[in-house]
Chain A
Amino acid sequence: MTPLLELRGLTRSYGSLTAVDQVDLAITRGERHALIGPNGAGKSTLFATVAGTLRASGGSILLNGQDVTALPEAERARRGMVRTYQHSSLFLDCSVLDNVALAVQRVHRVAHRCDRAARRFRRTEAEARRHLDSVGLSGRTRDKAAALSHGERRQLEVAMVLAAEPALVMFDEPTAGMSAAETERFVALLERLPEELTVLVVEHDLDVVFRLARRVTVLHLGRVLASGPPQEIRADEEVRRAYLGAARTEDLFTEAGGPG
């Protein structure tokens, strides 16, 4: 079976700095895959390159076996690859309903219709409300997105992403800046996502990662350090070293104020 998403030698460099270096990765349909790594490992760059926000410097990205490396972001989204942003990216001056309806009306191919009022497109409206319902925001459809709390904005993001009917959802640090209670609610929301949906998540909170993911890929200095089931990653010596820094702490001192 062809993997839903496959990266072959994906590379992205900024001048002489190679932020993503020859990354190979395959994600099968329905998989919950987490991407972790210390700060500066290239997670966000990899993420943006896969989504199409950034252009790849080398290698290729295959969605459903088709090469999408040259396609712009909008075209990748149309083919089912939808991302969220590290900082909520919403339509703040629009109503909560409008935010989700924007995703739905594109899927329903009515985004450029202007022959009747939007609320007369019943199917689109109903679908948007259903998605808001599923994330628990049905009481706030008429509020401006700007009036939502941080946690609610994250819920709205999920509703928007699902409303775009993706095959692959990519979450970029979804629980960043959330309170413990909000994180808990959010993880529960992600756990309820439909089985057939493939999820790639970049996450700092390892508790969340080990709870959600069935496979984890560790990125370090732009390269894949390890990839496998959570238990394996947890036990991996190299991963520990990447996360905790090189060997023993006293090395830091011997090098700077060494005997030489």
Chain B
Amino acid sequence: MLDGTTPAVEPLRTGTADGADRPGRRRAVVTVAVVALLAATPLFLGPYPVTAMTRMLAFAVLVLGVDLLTGVTGLPSLGQAAYFGVGAYTAVLIGIHLTPDAMVQALGGLVMGLVAAAVTGWVAVRARGIVFLMLTLAIGESVHQLAGTWSTVGGSNGLAGMPPISLFGGPPLTAAGFVYWWVLAVAVLVFAGVALVVRSPYGRTLRGIRDNEARMRALGYRPALARYGVFCLAGAVAGAGGALWAQQARFVSPGDMGFEVAALALLSVVVGGPGSLWGPCLGAALVLLVRDNLSPSIGGHGPLVLGTVFIAVVLLAPRGLAGLTGARILAAARRRKENPS
């Protein structure tokens, strides 16, 4: 795989901590602009598109967790939908029985996602590659089955009747725009947190495991420990995403944590560019857009479109959306460097 790549594409694949200050400032400007633009959308768009974007943001949070595992640590997972579902159920149960406070629900989703990942993860992290993938699939399907048969959480009907969320003890937030802002705020927070992890020494450790686990052991690392840590972290992130998802829908059913969700999350990472953070977020938006908005208008052939996109990405842009623009920017920079005018 490495032989075929030109050096031009490589330095942008993962946010290495070695970035110079100038691109760092540019990145900060772009980030602020994007967040401002996202924050402004409810002012321009109607309730339906805003609701659709809320769902994309919640799904993007799940995808960030999958990217931590798949892109950064090199552990492709099909089990993250389980922790997403655990987070969603937790938020709905808190909403119905305890409090409409959005923060408590989100925090509850995050903690339960973490706990669920911690309980199930120690089995999965012993394996790598395809075995890891199958183990996570087994975990995902088991939790999915459990949700579908356990009557306390509504069985296959799911849980409905969650009251609208509120913040700081204020009035219920029923307007789509307010829910959107709340979800956006949490999504940005999670993004920042994941970005920090990726840039930290721990992120470096994870990339080391992805690239060469045997060498990590020879350097005195215990990779299984670091893998378990990131699995729990990804579970927490997925749980937070699930809570946000449920807060928007005010309903949760086993369908929200099935194989399809897990597969779409993994697809988003692949399409977006594993290891990059904004790429998979874009991928998440694209995947949900096709599934929820495009698919009904083309006679339900959304999966066909997604399949085509997937094949196109694998063949034409192995580093996903992030790799595409990264290569272009870098090539331009190189040209400028070679012929300084």
Contact = CB atoms under 8 A, between A and B. Distances in A.
A111 B201 contact: yes
B202 A114 contact: yes
Chain A's interface size range is 35 or more
Interface in A94-116: 94-95, 97-98, 101-103, 105-107, 110-116
Interface residues of B, number: 36
Contact of A112 (B11, B18, B199, B205): B205
Interface string A95-139: 101100111011100111111111101001000000000000000
A106 B219 contact: yes
Contact of A117 (B7, B199, B207): B199
Contacts of A94: 14, 16, 204, 207-208, 211
Interface stretch (A32-40, A83-91, A230-238): A83-91
Given A91-B212, A92-B2, A94-B208, A119 B220 contact: no
Interface in B192-218: 196-197, 199-205, 207-208, 210-212, 214-218
A185 interface: no
Contacts of A142: 11, 16, 18
B226 interface: yes
Given A105-B205, A146-B10, A164-B220, A89 B214 contact: yes
B42 interface: no
Given A91-B215, A93-B207, A111-B201, A98 B220 contact: no
A209 interface: no
Nearest to A102: B208
Interface in B11-27: 11, 13-14, 16-18
Identify the interface centre among A72, A73, A83, A94: most chain B CB within 10 Å of its CB. A94
Nearest to B233: A114
Contacts of B217: 72-74, 77
B3 to A, nearest CB: 9
Main secondary structure on B side of the interface with A: helix
A97 B17 CA distance: 9
A46 interface: no
Contacts of B208: 91, 94, 98, 102
B150 interface: no
A113 B203 CA distance: 9
B10 A147 contact: yes
B311 to A, nearest CB: 24
Interface of B: 2, 5, 7, 10-11, 13-14, 16-18, 196-197, 199-205, 207-208, 210-212, 214-222, 225-226, 229
Interface of A: 51, 53, 72-75, 77-78, 82-83, 85, 89-95, 97-98, 101-103, 105-107, 110-119, 121, 124, 141-144, 146-147, 160, 164
27 contacts: A77-B219, A77-B220, A82-B219, A89-B215, A91-B211, A91-B212, A92-B2, A92-B211, A94-B204, A94-B207, A95-B11, A95-B16, A98-B17, A98-B204, A101-B201, A102-B216, A106-B220, A111-B202, A112-B205, A112-B226, A115-B200, A117-B17, A118-B203, A119-B18, A143-B11, A147-B7, A164-B219
Given A91-B208, A92-B2, A93-B210, 14 more contacts: A77-B220, A82-B220, A93-B10, A94-B207, A97-B16, A112-B201, A114-B200, A114-B201, A115-B200, A117-B200, A118-B17, A119-B18, A124-B201, A144-B7
